[in-house]
């Protein structure tokens, strides 16, 4: 099977798969990745410990598991959008303001941390990436 045939088959599969099934698949893949990608999970937990030292280990694991599930759902939804006909895409497109209206507490925390990072005047935060410590 060549690359074009594989892409056509994948697009067809994503076209006929419903969004609830895509979300369920994303949740399952995200759950698996949390346990299978041990190095990435360790890096994520280390970074969360630096950002949220007051949170328990269990709470930081919950945050990271939620991240993996949301990341996988977003990736699968993006693939479905690219596979969908343009008529369907235009019906489902929403504005940034609309997305902000559905923002969860974790989304808000991430956005506020990113905004805070932009205004940080005393950068003494160490961030772990690829098992190496970087100082911004």
pTM, whole model, 2 decimals? 0.58
* Inter-CA distances, 16 with 11, 13, 19, 23, 90, Å: 9, 5, 10, 14, 18
pLDDT tens for the chain, residues 1 to 136: 677 887 788 778 878 888 788 888 889 999 999 999 999 999 999 999 998 999 999 999 999 999 999 888 888 888 887 777 665 555 555 555 555 556 666 666 666 666 666 555 445 555 554 544 445 4
User: Given this model, what pLDDT does residue 103 score?
Assistant: 62
User: Given this model, what pLDDT does residue 122 score?
Assistant: 46
């Amino acid at each position: 099977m060549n690359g074009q045939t594989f892409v056509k088959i994948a697009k067809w599969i994503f076209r006929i798969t419903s969004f609830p099934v895509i979300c369920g698949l994303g949740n399952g893949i995200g759950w698996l990745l949390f346990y299978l990608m041990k190095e990435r999970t360790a890096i994520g937990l280390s970074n969360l410990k630096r950002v949220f030292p007051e949170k328990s280990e269990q709470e930081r694991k919950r945050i990271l598991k939620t991240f993996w599930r949301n990341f996988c759902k977003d990736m699968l939804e993006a693939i479905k959008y690219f596979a969908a006909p343009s008529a369907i895409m235009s019906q489902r497109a929403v504005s940034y303001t609309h997305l902000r209206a559905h923002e969860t507490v974790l989304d808000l925390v991430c956005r506020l941390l990113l905004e805070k990072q932009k205004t940080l005047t005393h950068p003494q935060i160490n961030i772990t990436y690829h098992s190496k410590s970087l100082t911004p």
